[in-house]
Amino acid sequence: MRRSNRFNALLALFASFASFATSPSTAMTVVHTEKSLYRNIVVYEESGERCMSFTRRNQTTRQTCQFLSDPNQFVFTYTRMMMGALYLNPHPRKVLVIGLGGGVLPMALARMFPDARIDIVEIDPAVVKVAQQFFGFNPSPQIQVFEEDGRVFVKRAGKSGRQYDLIMLDAFDHEYIPEHLLTQEFLFEVKALLTPDGVLAANTFSSSRLYHHESTTYQAVFGSFYNLRIALKNRIILIKMDGLPPLDAVKANAVALEEKLKPLGFGGDWLLPLFSTERDWDAKARVLTDQYSPSNLLNTLF
């Protein structure tokens, strides 16, 4: 009797989990697996870390990791770089984070700024559940989660007149940022949500052909930005609506925030040297739009 496609897919999924858990080169323990409408979620522990990964089509990427010995300390380089946004606005009162993962960024912000209001947008309810169950994410009156598409939320928020002092774009699937969250039209919608001195931090990659197109797109919408880049890894774009503060002002804010950042495992000595306004991209690269955003073709190594 011929097995159904659904049955075969489930067998493949369980087989991938099994090989994922018993790789001979690592001592890895799978803590939890879950299949949602959007992805397969795996929570595993390895080398003193607990991580959340998304798997689909034989691809696996780590979305969140925590040190088991100190869950508050940042594991990933990009999360440290994202906190550079605070060097541009050290006292955010209203924050929007698009993309939850394990909730590392919003929980850190909540500890640093207990009076701030933090809105989080996450399309996948399963990710919210896993973040709460395994990564210490804790929604509260201060931290509100909206389970919907990030673009839909931004459109509705714009129509209702919401504004934020700090917006963090951190929405990823197993491959990259969803195409409709890369375009000029989307960024103009995000721009409308920022207060006059608001700050935008966007997590992107630094080592694909998309780098040039993303750079020209952000420049077309916002003008100059701080470009924090680590070769072959992450790139963080930092924008301030009333203009980029000079490096002297950035350094002064870094000094003021040093004690708050220490528990996260880094400080200004590591983060400040990454700040740059150098344009290291092809200025002629085509701007990404709702009609032209082929990230599946452009997201390949240089």
Q: Residue 207: CB partners within 8 Å, gap ≥ 6?
A: 231, 232, 233, 301, 302
Write down the mean pLDDT value for the chain: 89
What confidence score (pLDDT) does residue 302 get?
53
- Structure confidence at residue 175 as a pLDDT band (50, 70, 90): confident
This prediction's pTM: 0.89
Provide the Cα torsion 193, 110, 120, 200; round to 10°: 40
In the sheet that 29-35 helps form, which strands lie side by side, from edge to edge? 29-35, 40-46, 49-56, 59-67
Superfamily per CATH, domain 77-293: Vaccinia Virus protein VP39 (3.40.50.150)
**Token representation of residue 107:** 């929980």
What confidence score (pLDDT) does residue 22 get?
40
Lowest mean pLDDT among 11-20, 42-51, 234-243: 11-20
What confidence score (pLDDT) does residue 244 get?
96
What confidence score (pLDDT) does residue 39 get?
86
What confidence score (pLDDT) does residue 1 get?
38
Write the pLDDT tens digit of every residue in 37-78.
888 999 999 999 999 998 755 445 788 999 999 999 999 999
Lowest mean pLDDT among 1-10, 189-198, 268-277: 1-10
DSSP type of residue 275:
-
What confidence score (pLDDT) does residue 295 get?
75
In the set 170, 197, 248, 282, the catalytic residue is 170
Q: Please name the amino acid found at residue 23.
A: S
Write the pLDDT tens digit of every residue in 145-159.
999 999 999 999 999
**Token representation of residue 103:** 């909730």
Q: Is 170 a catalytic residue?
A: yes
Cα–Cα distances in angstroms (integers) from residue 43 to residues 79, 156, 267, 275, in the given order: 19, 33, 29, 33
Instruction: List the chain domain ranges.
Output: 10-67, 77-293
